[in-house]
Amino acid sequence: MTGQELLAKFRELGALKTGHFQLTSGLHSGQYMQCAAIFEYPKAASEIIKLLIPKLPQDIDTVIAPAIGGINLGYEVARALQCRFVFTEREQGKMALRRGFTLTAGEKVLVVEDVVTTGGSVREVIEIARCHGCLVQVVACLVDRSQGKVDFPAPFIPLMRMEIETFQPDQCPLCAANLPITKPGSRTVK
């Protein structure tokens, strides 16, 4: 599947949304990538994930992902790699292992996230893995929106890269056009 075909599939599944959005960063945009929509359709999600799997190391012990966005993807990647899966959650504003999840020194881990924009959540997950003595092999995602700005201490493998234009609120043409705004993110807007 080409990049254009993949993008068309994301649109078809409702993952690439158009409108007027206030992002978690506080910036505004006319597009929003909601990868959770892909997982409404397990067969389509499986086909998309199959495109990512061959790019990943196959000798991973554990896949780890940040909640909420990375949970479905992390589980499906772990299932395909036939390894363990755990996820982190925010506890008092900071990522943490909860629910009895543990990591062991020397484990080879793969960190996955659905969409990477600033890489903040991924960095927190990497730090948790490293604090437990794990070996972070790769960071993977479905969509890299960082425009090449993220720098992880492990190879970074996105399924696709996508530039989404953003605007400062006071310079937003969508605001100027009086289009209603939506706050779609999973975290509180800054």
Task: Kindly tell me if the per-residue pLDDT of 187 is higher than 60.
Answer: no
Mean pLDDT, rounded, of the chain? 92
Cβ atoms 174, 30 nearer than 8 A: yes
Torsional sign, CA 59, 137, 81, 6: negative
**Which string of DSSP letters, residue by residue, matches the chain?**
--HHHHHHHHHHTT-EEEEEEE-TTS-EEEEEE-GGGGGGSHHHHHHHHHHHGGGS-S--SEEEEETTHHHHHHHHHHHHHT-EEEEEEEETTEEEE-TT----TT-EEEEEEEEESS-HHHHHHHHHHHHTT-EEEEEEEEEE-STT----SS-EEEEEE----EE-GGG-HHHHTT---B---SS---
Cβ atoms 129, 111 nearer than 8 A: yes
Task: Kindly tell me if the per-residue pLDDT of 189 is higher than 50.
Answer: no
**What structural domains and CATH numbers belong to the chain?**
3-176 (3.40.50.2020)
Question: How does pLDDT run across 57-85, given as a tens digit for each residue?
Answer: 999 999 999 998 899 999 999 999 999 99
Question: How does pLDDT run across 5-53, given as a tens digit for each residue?
Answer: 999 999 999 999 999 999 877 889 999 989 899 999 999 999 999 999 9
Provide the pLDDT for residue 117: 83
Please report, rounded to a whole number, the percentage of residues in the chain having pLDDT higher than 90: 78
Q: What residues does 135 pair with on adjacent strands? A: 108
Provide the pLDDT for residue 112: 98
Chain centroid offset of residue 115 CA: 3
Question: How does pLDDT run across 138-149, given as a tens digit for each residue?
Answer: 999 999 988 888
